[in-house]
Every structure is written in C-alpha cells, then in structure tokens.
Amino acid sequence: MERTSLTRFAWLSIAAAVVTIGLKTAAYMITGSVGLLSDALESVVNLVAAIMALAMLTIAARPPDEEHAYGHEKAEYFSSGAEGALILVAAISIIATSVPRLISPQPIEQVGVGLAISVGASLVNLAVALVLRRAGRQHRSITLEADSAHLMTDVWTSAGVLVAVGLVAVTGWERLDPLIALVVAANIIWSGVSLMRRSVLGLMDTALPAAPLVTIRQVQERYGGQGITFHALRTRQSGARAFASMHVLVPGDWTVQRGHELLERIEAEIRAAVPNITVFTHLEPLGDPIAWQDTQLDRAEPPREIE
C-alpha cells in the first residue's frame, strides 16, 4: 500500500470522532455526569488529533524533493506530538470540570439511557482503534499508532466512567463520579506525555530499535570472516523510513570494482532484512591509519592531500 492511501485511515478516525462526540454529549446531557462529560471532551480532542493526522499523513506521503532530499516522513512526528499535547489539554479540562463537582456533588439522572449511549460510543472507538493499530504496525506509521493509542485510551477511559456511573447509581455516593474523572485525567496525562516523548525522540534522530540493529550487525558478522571490517555504524528512524550508514574496510589491494560489488551485496542484504531502510556505505582500505579515525561523528584530523 502506498503512503498516500494511509489518509483513508485518518478519515475513518475523523468519522469515528464525530459520531462519538455526538453520542457522548447526548449521554452527558441526559445524565449530568461529569465523568461522561470528561469522556465527551476527550472525543473532541480525538477529532482535532484526527484532522492533524490527516494533514501530516498527506505531507509525509510526498516524495523527496530538492529541499527535502530524505523525504517528508518526519512530518508524522509533529502529528503524534501535537496529539500528545492535545491529550494534556483534555486532561486539564477534565480536572477543571471535576474539582468543582467534587466539592459540590450533584445527582446523576437517567443512568441506564446514558450508559447505553456511552457503551455504543466506546464500541465505535474500540473498532476503529484496532483497525488503526493494525494499519500503523503494518505500514510503520507512528501517526496511526498514536491515533490508535489515543482511541484505546478513550476506550479504557469510557470503561472507567461507565463503572463509576454505575457505582454511583448503586451506592448513591455522588463524589465517586468526579473522583473517577480525576483518575481518568491522570491516565490521559500519562498517555499524552508518552506520545510527546516518542515524538521528540523521533525528531532527535534516535537510533533504530534493538531488533533491526541486531539484524544489521548479523549481516556485518557474516562478512567478518572474509577479512572485512566495519565501523562507524549510525542509524536513525524517520517516521516510517529507517536510515543506516557504515564504513566498510577492505584490503588495500582490492580493485574499485570488487569493493563496489561488495558494498552492493551488503546494502542489498540489509534492505532485504530491514523493511523500508535506506543504506549508505563508505569504502576504506584496512591498511590506512586515517581510515580508523572515522569511528566518531566528527574527525579530528585535517583532510589529507591527495598525492
């Protein structure tokens, strides 16, 4: 599936947000439950986040150009980071709504109807979250994964609210409703901070996860017994795309053609083993001392003149 087609999942998320906002708002108006109001507020955040996801997925799907030679995939980090920030805004709104109700509790009305409506909204979110999670993992889209995580948070939030409203109806303890809403707010804050942290790490060119790194090193080890050495392996994740660069040291008497063919084989093996990765290799002679000064990002030695 091409990256441009991923926007259809964002449209699905937008549609789900619109439906759940309507359902949860109706449930709040019927019952007067601040817990259900907090649930509705989070769905508003879902809508804004889904619109942001649509915009960023559209940008990320653009091909490389002169100004963005490495592609536009990093745009997805802006979406997930913004979604994390919006989640925090929703949490603050829930706290601001819950604290006054905690001080001055109010009865909940027509619990059965409100709960039935909220359950329907939660099922919509659950179905869409599972679809987005599968698509996000399959196509390595942090935007879809973030949207799915947010919707799943919404589902668990709704479950907590439903339990709280039911307990209030059974026990008559009205302060339980805002207390559960505050617990929900704490859970949302955790989710928002986690999303923002992951987005920042992506923008900071964090190295690839352990699994693909191990795969790359296994490819290198297969050539180690042939008198070939590797160093200066550097990797980074850029949205759905991964990048890796390395220096390959071979005997100095090799021809350029032989070295070139080796690099082509190494790059091809890594691309076959690690999906959607771009590999850069640099050939150096084993016997040249200056070749061993490239292990750090910046070389201290001045450039050597060519004889």
What pLDDT does 301 receive?
A: 60
**Residue-averaged pLDDT of the chain:** 80
Asked if residue 268 has pLDDT above 50, the reply is yes
Tokens of 139: 């196509």
Q: Which residue has the higher pLDDT, 122 or 101?
A: 122
The predicted structure's pLDDT at residue 258: 94
- Domains in the chain: boundaries: 3-203, 210-293
In angstroms, what CA-CA distances link 43 with 13, 84, 192, 276? Answer: 11, 14, 14, 33
Provide the percentage of residues in the chain whose pLDDT is more than 70. 87
What is the mean pLDDT of the segment spanning 74-90? 77
Check if CATH label 3.30.70.1350 holds for domain 210-293.
Answer: yes
Q: What is the mean pLDDT of residues 255-284?
A: 94
Q: Could you read off the pLDDT of 141-197 as tens digits, one per residue?
A: 777 877 787 787 777 777 776 777 677 767 777 777 677 778 777 877 887 787 788
Token pair listed for 9: 């999942």
The winner for highest mean pLDDT among 172-176, 206-210, 254-258 is 254-258
Which is more confidently placed, 295 or 129? Answer: 129
Q: Which residue has the higher pLDDT, 7 or 39?
A: 7
> Is pTM beyond 0.75 here?
no
pLDDT at 283 (0 to 100): 94
The per-residue pLDDT for 2 is 55
- Domain spanning 3-203: which CATH class is it, in words? mainly alpha
With cut-offs at 50, 70 and 90, classify the pLDDT of residue 1.
Answer: very low
Name the pLDDT band for 307 (thresholds 50, 70, 90): low
